[in-house]
Structure 1
Amino acid sequence: MSRRPHEPKSDRTETPATPQPLQDNAGKIKIKMPKLSSKQLYAVIIGVLFFGSTAAYAFFSSPTAQAQPNVPDHVSQAAGSLQDSNVGPLGGIHEHFRIAVTLDGVPIDFSRARYQLRDQRFHFEDGDGVTGHMHATGITLGYVFSTLGMKLDSTCFVLDGGREFCSDGTKRLEMFVNGRVNAEFEKYAPKAAGTDTQMDDIVITYG
C-alpha cells in the first residue's frame, strides 16, 4: 500500500463558526430566551417592584412634585401674596392664632375642605376652621388670605370667588386683635399675645 507524503502543518488557525439565529420556515428570526426557574422569575418581579416603588417615592416626595395652591389672578399681586419675600423658610416656627371673618352677618367657614391644607407655610387643618397654623416666620394676614385665594386690605375683603366687600358710606370693614381695633389689616403678622400659650384672637367684620 502506498503512503501519502507527509503534509506540512498549516499555520492557519480555524475560526470557530459564529452561532446563527434560529429561523423558522418563513425566514423570520426567532430569539431563543433562557428559561427561568420559578424562584428566578419571582426574584426578577420583586426587583422590578422594589426599584419602581423607590423611584415613585423619590419623585412624589420631591419639592417640585408638591402641589401648589391655586391662587386666582385677582390676588396674584396682592401684598403678602405667595411670592412675599418676607416670609421665611418652611419649618422656621410652629405657632398658632385664632381667626374669624364675618361679612354682612355671614361667617366664613374655613373648616370646609376647600380651605384646608392649602399651603405648607400657613394652613388650617383637621377640619378646624378657627386655628391657623404658621410654619414660617414673617407671615402676615395678607399672606394668610392669599393662600386661600382671597385678598385683604384696609378697605376691601375679596372672597376666593371674586366677590368684594368694601367700605363705603354705609358699611365698614373692621379688624380687631385681642379685642382691640387694629388698622394694619393685610400687613399684620399674627403672634402670641403676651405669653407662649395665649394666641392672637383676630376678628374681621364687614357690615
Structure 2
Amino acid sequence: MIRVVLADDQEMVRMGFAMILERAGDIEVVAQCRDGVEAVEAIRRECPDVALLDIRMPRLDGLEALRLVSGLTRVVIVTTFDHDEYVDRALADGASGFLLKDSGPDLLVSGVRAAAEGDALISPELTVALLERTRSAGSSRPDVPGVAELTERELDVARLVARGRTNAEIAGELFISLGTVKSHLGSIQSRLGARNRVEIAARLWESGLLP
C-alpha cells in the first residue's frame, strides 16, 4: 500500500483527490493538510511514501515545503499554475513529479505510483516545454551516450516517454503489456544512465531524435 500525505488549501480539492486516490486500491491517504506547515508536520509524523503538495498555500507554500521534506519522502507538486519557473524550481529541489490539477484522475494516480517507485512523472503539456528549455540551455550533443545502443522497440518506448505518455498509454499505443513497458524502461534507463523518465526524455531530446 502506498501511503500518501495530501496538502491543498481548498477542502473540495483535497476531498476530490483523496477519493480518486483511495479508489485506486493500492493507495492510502494518511493525512490531509490545509497548508505547508501542516504538511511538513504530517510528513515528519507519518513518514509517507509520497506527498502531494499544492504550490500556493497559506503560511508555507508547496515549494518551500518541498525544500524541507525532500529528504524525507518523495514529493509530487500538484497545482493550477504551469509557470516555467515553478516547474524548474520544483524539479531542481527534488520533486518526483509536477502535475496540473486538470490533468485528470488517471495521471494523478500514475504520478503517485511513479513517485513511489522512484520515478518521476510530469503532465504531458509541460514536458515538451521543459525539455526544450533543457536543450536550449546546453550545447547540442548529437552523440548522447547509450542512445545508439537502444533497440528499435526501446526507441519507440523512449520517444513516447519524451512525449509525456504514461506507462498505460505507452502500452496501449504499442500494443504491449504494462510489464513489457516497465521492462523496456529498465533497460533504457540502464543504457542511458538515466534515473527516471524525465532524464530518459532529456537524453532523447539532446540526441536530436525528436523534432
Same fold, TM exceeding 0.5? Answer: no
Q: Taking CA–CA contacts closer than 8 Å with sequence separation of 6 or more, which of the two structures ends up with the larger relative contact order?
A: 1
TM-score, structure 1 normalization: 0.28
TM-score, structure 2 normalization: 0.28
Asked which structure has the greater CA Rg, the reply is 1
